[in-house]
């Protein structure tokens, strides 16, 4: 996924398939994962993210397998990765990338899981929420995601994400996560050094997520 994002002609968009979230509740419980990710691919995304957590996001491992059987683009398994076994699952289900969430892991655990992922030829997207988590970043991670949404208040703070990106410097591929609802916000992130953009709710809240993604990318180009 990292190489796709860095291509000169890339949209940088990682389009997400998710049915619900803790902050929004049900977002879309009728969309078919194969249809949606297939349309995402045709629209020109750099990759897709598929939720496999059921309790909070309504996802399943079947969603990831179905997506893998449908598309050739890189797939991110998005889940709460806290156990070695989950990484072997991700590989067997067809994931190319896994998510590590700094807020639920120690820096030591992040390093351990990053090494394990690498041994399985999985890329790592490390997600940060605030400056206190910058010490979780290690040189082995492929991408660093900055979640613009405060996990306690669920408010979006774009300025904080930009400040954090500046502190990371240019060494890492930076991904903006959450709160990207229009082209101007994406362009603001891009001008601030972000390479990729994880977008889910903006597409999934519509009756046709694939078409919403296609229209978004058409406007971007």
Active site residues: 16, 18, 78, 127, 147, 177-178
Closest C-alpha to 187, from 173, 177, 197: 197
Number of alpha carbons in the 13 Å side-chain half-sphere of residue 186: 19
Q: Specify burial of residue 178 (Cβ count, 10 A radius: 0-12, 13-18, 19+).
A: buried
Coil, helix or strand at residue 130: coil
Q: How far apart are the first and last CA of the chain?
A: 20
Phi, psi for 86 (deg, rounded to 5): -65, -30
User: Residue 25: which H helix or E strand, with range?
Assistant: strand 25-26
Distance CA 73, CA 84 (A): 25
Angle between helices 183-191 and 158-168 (to 10 degrees): 30
Buried b (16+ CB within 10 A) or exposed e, 73-98: bbbbbbbbbeeeebbebbbebbbbbb
DSSP single-letter state for residue 205: T
């Amino acid at each position: 996924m990292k190489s796709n994002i860095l291509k000169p002609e890339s949209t940088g968009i990682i389009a997400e398939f998710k049915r619900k979230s803790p902050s929004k509740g049900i977002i879309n419980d009728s969309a078919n994962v194969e249809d949606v990710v297939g349309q995402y691919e045709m629209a020109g995304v750099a990759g897709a993210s598929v939720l496999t957590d059921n309790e909070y996001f309504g996802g399943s491992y079947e969603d990831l397998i179905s997506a893998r059987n449908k598309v050739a683009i890189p797939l991110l398994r998005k889940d709460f990765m806290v156990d070695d076994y989950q990484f072997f699952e991700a590989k067997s289900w067809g994931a190319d990338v896994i998510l590590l969430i700094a807020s639920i892991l120690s820096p030591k655990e992040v390093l351990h899981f990053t090494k394990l992922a690498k041994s399985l030829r999985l890329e790592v997207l490390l997600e940060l929420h605030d400056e206190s988590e910058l010490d979780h970043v290690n040189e082995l991670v492929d991408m660093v995601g900055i979640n613009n949404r405060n996990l306690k208040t669920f408010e979006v703070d774009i300025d904080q994400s930009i400040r954090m990106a500046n502190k990371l410097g240019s060494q890492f591929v930076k991904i903006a996560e959450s709160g990207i609802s229009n082209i101007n916000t994406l362009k603001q992130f891009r001008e601030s050094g972000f390479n990729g953009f994880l977008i889910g709710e903006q597409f999934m809240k519509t009756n046709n997520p694939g078409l919403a993604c296609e229209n978004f990318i058409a406007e971007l180009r």
